[in-house]
Structure 1
Amino acid sequence: MKKKKITIRDIADKLDVTASTVSRALKNHPRISDATKKAVVEMADKLNYQPNNIASALRKGKSNIIGVIIPTSDRRFFASVIKGIEQVLREEGYNLIISQSDDIASKEESNIDALLRVQVDGIIASIARETTDYTHFKRAIKRGVPLILFDRVNEELGVNTVVNDDYQGGVMAVNHLIEQGCTKIAHFMGKRHLNIYQERLRGFKDALKEHHLPINEDWILEGDLIDETEQVLETGRRLTHKLFEGDEIPDAIFSSSDFAAMGAIQVLKEKNIKIPDEVALVGFSNDLSTSFIDPPLTSIDQHTRQMGELVAQVFLQQINSDSKNIPFDTTLKPELIIRASSMRKEKVKAEQQAL
């Protein structure tokens, strides 16, 4: 049998007082005597009374709960962003409800609906890989619930966003490889409908154009770069094998995923191709593991903790604003972390001196 939920009326019946007296006692109302307050608290503990926070939120119009929807919780990127969000919002008296979409559009929609039912004060989300219909987000906006998007965003929704400068990250990665003497650069990109991969590809192409280097479309290979780690490693392996099927091979790979780049390193080692002398690599995200592989992987750091803090600050600015401000984008500047996987400069210098 389902256990009956204890209510304020149950406490009132036990103490032979009114429900309003119990409610005021639990709120420490000054008109209720200390003796009554003590009796009410003791009876509430005895009956294991749990306040109905949803009902309270409905009455007050404020729950002090923020919903956070992420594609997955097993990535360092999202875990670090959540830490930044929580650090800022907890100091302001907010609690988080964290849910994951598993990159499934229907699950993301269910998460939105569940958060709306519990009357959250706002929703912070990174869009699922599968999502192409944004009706569920529009539903939250229509209800007046503040919505902040980060990392994976959709500009058409007209909400505040916090993103990395993925375009600049692509430019930085390719410029670095060119500085190291690379001229035939390949690119591993994620699903094209996601803005983060569109921007990294745009940066990749513009950097090559700026240096008057050719763009080989056959070397721009698309794969699922936001799946489970093992699967992304396998994607990196598969794409690398594909690169080396042709007569001409690249001398560098810029990957939009650290793990795909690690998969590439595995294949290059199996083929006895020297890294970085024959093929240099740059990844994206600066995952913790990039420092521990052999050779250590050069990568673009996205400053995830700072992103989370900025997301929280943007939310607070939005709810505390008296005017209907035009939504704005907050963009973080990426940082290139140089490691051994791309450092060809000493070899290039030696070759130039030998000429």
Structure 2
Amino acid sequence: MKKNKATIHDIAEKLNITASTVSRALNDNPRISDATKKKVLKIAKQINYQPNHIASALRSGKSRLVGVIVPTANRNFFSSVIRGIEDIANNLNYKIIISQSYDEFEKEVQNVEALLNARVDGVIASIGKTTENVEHFQKILEKGIPLVLFDRISNELEVSQVVIDDHLGAYQTVDHLIKSGCKRIIHFTSNQRINIYKERKRGYEDALVDNGIAVDPKLIFDCNMQLEGGRQVMQGILDQKIKFDAVFSSSDYSIMGAMQVLKEKGFKIPEDIKLAGFGNEPFTSFTEPSITTVDQKSVPMGQITAETFFEILNSDGNNVMGKKTILKPELIIRDSSL
């Protein structure tokens, strides 16, 4: 027989008080004495009471839960953003529910449905690479629930957004490579519907032009931004015998793959080829040579995203339309480009 789940009525019966008193004690209501709160918490622990957030949300209109959708949580960037979001949410007595889309559109749609069914008070999201239709996010807004986007955003949604200046980060990186003597700089990019790749490519091109170097489309390569993708693209470049003296990738992972292939083929870095990535993943400082990259200010991004979210949540449920916060990136110059 399945054991019945403990309820506030069980706690009330053991303490000979009302269920409403138990509920107020569990929610730290100032009208309830500290002594009663301690007794309630003690019994709750003894009988393994677990609050029903959905039922609570239905009663109060607030679940104190925030849904967070990321492409993947095992990347340092996204895990650090989540940490920043939690810093703010936990201080306000809110908890977050993390969902991963794995850059799959259908999975992202399912995540939105699941979070709405969980009665979250709002959603914070970074859009997946394959997402072209944003109707599932529009559904959140139609329900009057706050939505804030970070990093990978969509201009089709009138919502608040928090990003870094991807154009500036790319521009500074390519400008640094040019000033280090490079003239034929390969660029790894990805789906141009994704704002971060579009802006980083634009920064790459503008830096070339401003330094008097013509943009050569033959030096721009599409990549899935994974380590293996970087390896495959670099192998193809070498097979085609394309002349180049540097590589700037929109991802640290793909530049790591490129570096592996170059070293296997006997190239010296940075003497023969200079390399730079984007993201400041932890491994970039441990490789040999260490990799020049762009720090995306991930923890501050998470904190500002959460602050923006709670500003909206506490503003009578009205979304702050079009509020866009742009953080300044930091170019970290390391051995791979010196």
TM-score when normalising by structure 1:
0.85
1:49-198 → structure 2 map (5 Å cutoff)? 49-198=49-198
Aligned residues of 1:258 and 1:286 also touching (Cα < 8 A): yes
| Residue 35 of structure 1: how far off its partner (Å) | 11
Work out which of the residue numbers 312, 321, 325 in structure 2 matches 1:326: 321
Structure 2 equivalent of residue 349 of structure 1: none
CA distance in 2, matches of 1:61, 1:211: 57
1:339 correspondence with 2:334: yes
| Matched residue type, 2:182 | C
Work out which of the residue numbers 251, 256, 263 in structure 2 matches 1:262: 256
- How many percent of aligned residue pairs carry the same amino acid? 48
* Residues 216-252 of structure 1: per-residue CA shift (max 9 Å, x gap): 2122111111xxxxxx222111111222233441111
Structure 2 equivalent of residue 233 of structure 1: 227
Aligned residues of 1:65 and 1:121 also touching (Cα < 8 A): yes
RMSD across aligned C-alpha pairs, in angstroms? 2.7
Aligned residues of 1:22 and 1:40 also touching (Cα < 8 A): no
Work out which of the residue numbers 257, 263, 278 in structure 1 matches 2:272: 278
CA distance in 1, matches of 2:294, 2:33: 62
After superposition, the Cα gap between the structure-2 partners of 1:179 and 1:318, relative to the gap in structure 1 and judged at 3 Å, is: same
SS at 2:141 equivalent:
helix
CA distance in 1, matches of 2:90, 2:9: 32
After superposition, the Cα gap between the structure-2 partners of 1:248 and 1:67, relative to the gap in structure 1 and judged at 3 Å, is: closer
CA distance in 2, matches of 1:108, 1:202: 28
| Residue 142 of structure 1: how far off its partner (Å) | 0.6
Aligned residues of 2:76 and 2:281 also touching (Cα < 8 A): yes
After superposition, the Cα gap between the structure-2 partners of 1:25 and 1:188, relative to the gap in structure 1 and judged at 3 Å, is: closer
Structure 2 equivalent of residue 23 of structure 1: 20
- Point out where structure 2 has 5 or more consecutive residues left out of the alignment: none
| Matched residue type, 1:172 | Q
1:309 correspondence with 2:303: yes
Aligned residues of 1:185 and 1:253 also touching (Cα < 8 A): yes
After superposition, the Cα gap between the structure-2 partners of 1:89 and 1:324, relative to the gap in structure 1 and judged at 3 Å, is: closer
1:246 correspondence with 2:230: no
Aligned residues of 1:257 and 1:283 also touching (Cα < 8 A): yes
| Matched residue type, 1:52 | N
CA distance in 1, matches of 2:20, 2:198: 55
Aligned residues of 2:24 and 2:32 also touching (Cα < 8 A): no
After superposition, the Cα gap between the structure-2 partners of 1:10 and 1:188, relative to the gap in structure 1 and judged at 3 Å, is: same
How many correspondences in the alignment? 334
* Residues 264-296 of structure 1: per-residue CA shift (max 9 Å, x gap): 111211222222222111110011111111111
After superposition, the Cα gap between the structure-2 partners of 1:273 and 1:334, relative to the gap in structure 1 and judged at 3 Å, is: same
Aligned residues of 2:159 and 2:319 also touching (Cα < 8 A): no
| Matched residue type, 1:109 | V
After superposition, the Cα gap between the structure-2 partners of 1:199 and 1:37, relative to the gap in structure 1 and judged at 3 Å, is: closer
Aligned residues of 1:66 and 1:120 also touching (Cα < 8 A): yes
| Matched residue type, 1:242 | G
After superposition, the Cα gap between the structure-2 partners of 1:159 and 1:31, relative to the gap in structure 1 and judged at 3 Å, is: closer
| Residue 134 of structure 1: how far off its partner (Å) | 1.1
Q: Which moved more, 1:107-116 or 1:319-328?
A: 319-328
Aligned residues of 2:11 and 2:22 also touching (Cα < 8 A): no
TM-score when normalising by structure 2:
0.89
After superposition, the Cα gap between the structure-2 partners of 1:339 and 1:62, relative to the gap in structure 1 and judged at 3 Å, is: same
After superposition, the Cα gap between the structure-2 partners of 1:89 and 1:33, relative to the gap in structure 1 and judged at 3 Å, is: closer
After superposition, the Cα gap between the structure-2 partners of 1:105 and 1:294, relative to the gap in structure 1 and judged at 3 Å, is: same
